[in-house]
Amino acid sequence: MRQASIQRTTKETDITLTLCLDGGEVSVSTGIGFFDHMLTALAFYAGFGLELSALGDLHVDGHHTVEDVGIVLGQALREALGDKKGIRRYGFAVVPMDEALCRTVLDISNRPCLVFDAPMPQPMIGSYDACLTMEFARALSVNSGITLHQKCEYGENAHHITEALFKSLGLALKMAVQVVGDGVVSTKGAL
């Protein structure tokens, strides 16, 4: 099984995460309802098993919790992928959510880079600050070593845009981590 468990404790957050790339139960608790919903959707569409418990300084705001979950999930993804032998490496998906259409394209390249183009029409989605979606994507990209491009082609509702971004990320990851051979997909022979 391609899996990893990470525990990270700082003065701002305390996070325990277990990730299995080959499936399993999904249980997410961050104290931010909408973020829990998005992480559950991401894991579902990626076909991942994910057990996540995060306690953060939500009396300040959700920033530290969301960013630190991105850090830990990225670290777990990198660890679970190991030497990356046999994976497809590239993944992409386009997801509609009502009036919104969002795209994710990624490369498990060991070269972290984020290009994020998804303006949010409303600043808040329940208690979730819509701008934190980009912070999550950045932390995930940097800590997993993934080149990640996310774009909202169009949309009028921040909830729909964010949900399409998380679902397309899940689908793109599912494609990219799929084992399709026994060698590293790189002309250099290493990622």
Residue 191: its pLDDT value, please?
Answer: 74
Residue 134: its pLDDT value, please?
Answer: 98
- For residue 51, is it within any domain? yes
- For residue 186, is it within any domain? no
Spatial distance between the Cα atoms of 132 and 130, rounded to a whole number of angstroms: 5
Percentage, residues of the chain above pLDDT 90 = 94
Residue 59: its pLDDT value, please?
Answer: 94
CB 56 within 8 A of CB 64: yes
Token code pair at residue 104: 């994710």
For the chain, the average pLDDT equals 96
Stretch 58-67: mean pLDDT, rounded?
96
Q: Mind listing the pLDDT tens digit for each residue in 79-130?
A: 999 999 999 999 999 999 999 999 999 999 999 999 999 999 999 999 999 9
Residue 112: its pLDDT value, please?
Answer: 98
Longest dimension (CA), the chain: 49
- For residue 113, is it within any domain? yes
- For residue 95, is it within any domain? yes
Q: How would you class 35 by CB atoms within 10 Å of its CB: exposed for 0-12, middle for 13-18, buried for 19 or more?
A: buried
Residue 96: its pLDDT value, please?
Answer: 98
Residue 101 DSSP label: E
Structural domain count of the chain: 1
pLDDT at residue 131 greater than cutoff 90: yes
Scan for tokens 């305390």, then name that residue: 14
Stretch 167-172: mean pLDDT, rounded?
98
- For residue 189, is it within any domain? no
Spatial distance between the Cα atoms of 177 and 88, rounded to a whole number of angstroms: 6
> Beta strands 26-29 and 90-97: pairing type?
unpaired
Q: The CATH number of the domain where 53 resides is what? A: 3.30.230.40
- For residue 34, is it within any domain? yes
b/e 164-190 (16+ beta carbons within 10 angstroms → b): bbbbbbbbbbbbbbeeeeeebbeeeee
- Grade residue 185 by pLDDT with cuts at 50, 70 and 90: confident
- For residue 66, is it within any domain? yes
Percentage, residues of the chain above pLDDT 70 = 100
Q: How would you class 83 by CB atoms within 10 Å of its CB: exposed for 0-12, middle for 13-18, buried for 19 or more?
A: exposed
pTM of the full predicted structure?
0.96
| Full domain range(s) for residue 38 | 3-177
- For residue 183, is it within any domain? no
